[in-house]
């Protein structure tokens, strides 16, 4: 039975085509197929009204009918507009072929056969008899979006794309044909920054539709119902059944409550060691790779307290090497903390720079300038391993953040990007502050400034790691 929304859309869509009695056999087949679909479609599968929107974001649970919905929308738009070009993309080439084109709910199974001219499997191209083309390009190869241009497209499982930001940027440049290019993006939600951006644009140029598995349960096999619904009441079920966007901090390695706040009414402590840690941009693509700096002070919160760390500054900016070098040299002159017995705060004791890309040249220049600089090489450890290594320092509540003077109980505004990156990792757009933090805390731990799990040293070795320069990751 038609819902009111579907009935309204059906009338509007049919009016957009020719009179059924006077239509060609091909148009009659198209209109009959469209009418049949809108008769059985769920409310969340009916396209938005109007021409104001550019992106229809459909976040839906497993089995909610995302693929069928997008395939039905894509072929109808291609048929209504003869001679147009439409992008079809999915995480991999196999997904494009096996799901979007050849799947049970894919294009080849929902388009009336009378409308299909030919399908080239190897090229992922489906040609309609009206001259329109549906072209498949896998999101795993973002550079393939360069060059082709389209009137619109279908992006399947957007949140599962490996190179999401790069692929999204490239395909947007190709949406340049016609008066109003439109995209339908279907996906089971994940807290990717791009997904959150699109949700926040709802009502601007984005229509955001959410649906759960229950909304299409009557069309699903009993065995699938039994399997998927066993996750009811779990965090995974919230995401995969109800299409809820889970806050990435819920699954993060580091928890926000682990950090301690340094009361804004207290003066900063006397720091015994200050480290500046830099993660330099990996390339000249400054839009994608900011340089990040975190500054850490080592101090004793109280006479009987263990050594702890405080974040005393952090920033990230898009700096290419000519601008980065003077910035680092200027930052090296900074004085941190309250005055000591000599009437001044603490100078920077060590500058730590990961020896990659721009960092290599920076290291050489700073060494020639006589600054106390040291390189850092994570070796074979990936970013998750690096964060796991230093997470115990934070979980033992040995890391302090300066409290905001205006918002009691919260860290200062400039510290929030670092906390967010650490707690939401890996579901973050940039992780440069994470890299800067992990290398800084790892080095401070290895130098013996923060001792979380003491080990018995040999009697003739009292260095506690300070003199050891070997990289533990490269073994």
Q: Is the pLDDT of residue 25 over 60?
A: yes
Give 288's pLDDT tier (boundaries 50, 70, 90). low
pTM for the structure as a whole: 0.72
> What secondary structure does DSSP assign to 319-368, as a single string?
--HHHHHHHHHHHTT-EESS--TTSS-EEP-EEEEE-STHHHHHHHHHHH
Q: How far apart (Å, rounded) are the C-alpha atoms in residues 309 and 390?
A: 12
Angle of helix 416-424 relative to helix 432-446, nearest 10 degrees, comes to: 90
Q: Is the pLDDT of residue 460 over 70?
A: no
- Lowest mean pLDDT, pick from 26-30, 140-144, 214-218, 443-447: 214-218
Q: What is the pLDDT of residue 357?
A: 65
Give 113's pLDDT tier (boundaries 50, 70, 90). very high
Choose between 14 and 48: higher pLDDT. Answer: 48
Q: Is the pLDDT of residue 297 over 90?
A: yes
Q: What is the pLDDT of residue 285?
A: 46
pLDDT digit string, tens, across residues 309-334 = 999 999 999 887 788 888 988 999 88
Q: What is the pLDDT of residue 284?
A: 47
Across residues 371-389, what is the average pLDDT? 89
Q: Confirm if 297 and 274 have CB atoms less than 8 A apart.
A: yes
Contacts of 276 (CB under 8 A, 6+ apart): 293, 294, 295, 331, 332, 348, 350, 351, 352
Count of Cβ atoms closer than 10 Å to residue 25 Cβ: 8
Rounded to a whole number of angstroms, the CA Rg of the chain reads: 28
Give 472's pLDDT tier (boundaries 50, 70, 90). very low
Average pLDDT, the chain: 86
Q: Is the pLDDT of residue 229 over 60?
A: yes
Give 438's pLDDT tier (boundaries 50, 70, 90). very high
| DSSP letter assigned to residue 175 | B
The H or E element containing residue 442 is helix 432-446
Q: Is the pLDDT of residue 283 over 60?
A: no
Choose between 65 and 56: higher pLDDT. Answer: 56
Across residues 32-45, what is the average pLDDT? 91
Give 261's pLDDT tier (boundaries 50, 70, 90). very high
Cis peptide before 426 (omega within 30 of 0): yes
- Which two three-digit tokens encode residue 209? 């539709």
Sheet holding 273-279, edge to edge: 260-262, 399-402, 308-317, 291-299, 273-279, 350-354, 373-376
Q: Is the pLDDT of residue 64 over 90?
A: no
Q: What is the pLDDT of residue 157?
A: 95
């Amino acid at each position: 039975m038609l819902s009111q929304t579907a009935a309204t859309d059906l009338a509007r869509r049919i009016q957009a085509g020719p009179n059924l009695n006077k239509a060609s056999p091909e148009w009659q087949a198209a209109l009959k197929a469209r009418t049949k679909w809108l008769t059985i479609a769920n409310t969340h599968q009916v396209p938005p009204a109007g021409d104001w929107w550019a992106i229809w974001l459909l976040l839906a649970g497993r089995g909610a009918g995302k693929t069928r919905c997008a395939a039905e929308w894509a072929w109808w738009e291609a048929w209504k507009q003869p001679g147009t070009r439409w992008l079809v993309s999915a995480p991999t080439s196999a997904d494009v072929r096996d799901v979007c084109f050849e799947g049970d709910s894919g294009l080849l199974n929902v388009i009336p056969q009378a409308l299909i001219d030919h399908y080239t499997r190897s090229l992922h191209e489906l040609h309609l008899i009206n001259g329109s083309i549906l072209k498949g390009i896998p999101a795993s190869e973002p550079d393939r979006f360069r060059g082709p241009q389209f009137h619109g497209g279908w992006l399947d499982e957007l949140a599962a794309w490996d190179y999401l930001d790069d692929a999204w940027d490239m395909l947007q440049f190709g949406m340049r044909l016609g008066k109003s290019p439109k995209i339908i993006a279907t996906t089971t939600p994940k807290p990717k920054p791009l997904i959150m951006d699109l949700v926040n644009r709802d009502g601007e140029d984005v229509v955001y539709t959410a649906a759960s598995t229950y909304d299409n349960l009557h069309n699903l096999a009993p065995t699938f119902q039994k399997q998927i619904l066993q996750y009811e009441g779990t965090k995974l079920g919230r995401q995969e059944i109800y299409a809820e966007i889970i806050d990435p901090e819920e699954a993060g390695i580091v928890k926000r409550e682990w950090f301690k706040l340094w009361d804004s009414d207290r003066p900063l402590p006397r720091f015994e060691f200050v480290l500046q840690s830099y993660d330099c941009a990996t390339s000249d693509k400054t839009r994608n790779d900011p340089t990040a700096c975190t500054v850490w002070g080592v101090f004793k919160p109280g006479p009987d307290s263990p050594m702890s760390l405080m974040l005393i500054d952090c920033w990230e900016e898009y700096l290419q090497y000519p601008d980065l070098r003077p910035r680092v040299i200027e930052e090296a002159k900074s004085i941190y903390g309250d005055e000591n017995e000599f009437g001044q705060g603490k100078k920077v004791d060590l500058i730590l720079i990961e020896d990659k890309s721009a960092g290599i040249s920076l290291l050489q220049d700073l060494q020639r300038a006589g600054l106390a600089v040291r390189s850092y090489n994570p070796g074979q450890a990936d970013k998750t391993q690096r964060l796991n290594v230093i997470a115990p320092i934070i979980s033992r509540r040995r890391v302090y953040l300066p409290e905001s003077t205006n918002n009691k109980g919260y860290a200062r505004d400039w510290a929030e990007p670092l906390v967010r990156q650490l707690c939401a990792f890996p579901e973050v757009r940039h992780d440069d502050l994470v890299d800067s933090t992990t290398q800084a805390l790892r080095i401070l731990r290895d130098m013996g400034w923060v001792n979380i799990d003491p080990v018995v040293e040999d009697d003739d070795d009292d260095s506690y790691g300070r003199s050891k320069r070997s990289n533990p990751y490269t073994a």
